[in-house]
Amino acid sequence: MKYGAAGSTREIARKAGISEAALFKRFSTKAQLFMAAMVPPAPAIDGIMAKAAKTKSAQAGLEQVAEGVLEYFRTAIPMILPMAASPAFIEPSLPKNFATSPATALLEALTGYLRDEQKRGRIHTEDPYAVAATLVAALHSVALFELMGFHGGAMPRAGIRAVVRALWTGLEPSRNQRKAK
């Protein structure tokens, strides 16, 4: 994490207590070593969704999901950025280094959660996947902005609830607003 792709394999081997040759027996290239070291953990999405499903309202459930997904991005983004910034790791074979994409897992789980909530009659949406993708993208952006020092380094819970509320209420004007015009 400290040196990114510019880190020395000799120093890594020394800190691991092995020879550099032993390091390269396990990882044939520095890129493979870096990828193994920097891939973020999988999100604990099943627990997040189970907790959200137990809430009294769908909106409260979405707030639970948003908080859990944002916590994941707070961990994952600092690990992903060095990979994204290194030309050695941006190549056509990059996706095969990830068994399954954490972003895909998040989207699939959130889409499933939204479909379940729709079946329960607690939400209505034309496209659960689009809602999931919008929320995940917004939370990813929040985590990235936090990393850059915005939101004082951590968006308050009220800000997260405001993001969910904006998604929840949408852009369509209320009937009262339309009548006033």
pLDDT, mean of residues 4-27: 86
pLDDT for 29: 82
Q: Is the pLDDT of residue 51 over 80?
A: yes
pLDDT tens-place string over residues 89-103: 655 555 555 556 787
- For 110-156, write each residue's pLDDT tens digit: 999 999 999 999 999 999 999 999 999 999 999 999 999 998 889 99
| DSSP helix/strand/coil, 53 | helix
DSSP annotation string for 58-102: HHHHHHHHHHHHHHHHHHHHHHHHHHHH-GGG-STTGGGGSSS-H
CA distance 55 to 33: 42
Q: At what angle do helices 157-169 and 58-85 cross, to 10 degrees?
A: 110
**24-38, 43-57, 152-166: which range is least confident on average?**
24-38
Instruction: Work out the average pLDDT over 38-60.
Output: 89
Which residues lie below 8 Å from residue 160, measured CB to CB, with a gap of 6+? 63, 66, 67, 70, 142
DSSP 133-144: HHHHHHHHHHHH
Greater pLDDT, 30 or 91: 30
Q: Residue type for 57, please?
A: S
For residues 65 and 111, give the distance between their C-alpha atoms in angstroms, rounded to a whole number.
12
Res 92: pLDDT: 55
Average pLDDT value over all residues in the chain:
85
- pLDDT tens column, 60-90: 999 999 999 999 999 989 888 877 776 666 5
The answer to whether 3 and 17 have CB atoms below 8 angstroms apart is no
pLDDT at 39 over 60: yes
**Which residues lie closer than 8 Å to 97 by C-beta, 6 or more apart?**
32, 35, 39
What φ, ψ does residue 94 adopt, rounded to 5°?
-55, -50
